[in-house]
Structure formats: C-alpha cells, structure tokens
C-alpha cells in the first residue's frame, strides 16, 4: 500500500478572464491551500468557491463576493468590496485595506 506525505508547494498558472474580467473557472471550485489574486484584473469570482487556506483579493477591481464563498483561513479584501454576503464562511480573520 502506498504511503503519503503532506507537501506544501506554490503553483502558479494563467487563468483566463472574460471581457468583463470574470474568471473563467467553474462554479463549485475547491482550492486546497491559499489562493492569491492580489494585483490582478479579476472583477468576479465563481459561485460556491471554497479555498481551504487564505484568499487574497487586495489590489483588484473586485467589488462583490460570490454567493457561498468559503475561506478556511484569512480573507484579504479592499474597502471597495460592498458587503460580505450572509452565505460567506470565513475560518480566520477578514482584513480590509
């Protein structure tokens, strides 16, 4: 039977955006680890997004969070984000800049 070890690594890849700056990723996406979109032109996230680690949305034009966002640790957002939906679950702290 194979044995497994836990490994932490950073993976960087290009994610396509539509003409309005929305990520072309499927709804119900689960990311194991941190997700850092800081300094990118994203303007919308997929609904039902789950991030097990930190989610960093600083320095983006994003003003609305998606329905049913789940963040296992900390959420970093700009003050421009209108409100945090009642369906949002944050396991850590919310930091606004």
Q: Where are the domains of the chain?
A: 1-97
Written as six digits, the tokens of 67 are: 């329905």
Higher pLDDT: 18 or 90? It is 90
Sheet containing strand 55-56, edge to edge, reads: 35-36, 55-56, 75-77, 94-96
pLDDT at 81 > cutoff 90:
no
The secondary structure of residue 59, as a DSSP letter, is T
Tokens 């993976």 correspond to: 11
pLDDT value at position 87? 95
Q: What is the mean pLDDT of residues 74-92?
A: 91
Nearest Cα to Cα of residue 33 among 49, 7, 52, 8:
52
């Amino acid at each position: 039977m194979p044995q497994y070890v836990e490994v932490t690594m950073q993976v960087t890849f290009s994610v396509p955006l539509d003409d309005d700056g929305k990520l072309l990723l499927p709804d119900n996406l689960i990311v194991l680890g941190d997700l850092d979109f800081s300094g990118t032109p994203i303007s919308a996230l997929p609904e039902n997004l789950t991030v097990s680690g930190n989610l960093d949305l600083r320095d983006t034009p994003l003003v609305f969070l998606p329905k049913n966002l789940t963040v296992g640790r900390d959420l970093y957002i700009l003050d421009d984000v209108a409100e945090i939906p009642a369906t949002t679950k944050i396991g850590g702290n919310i930091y606004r800049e």
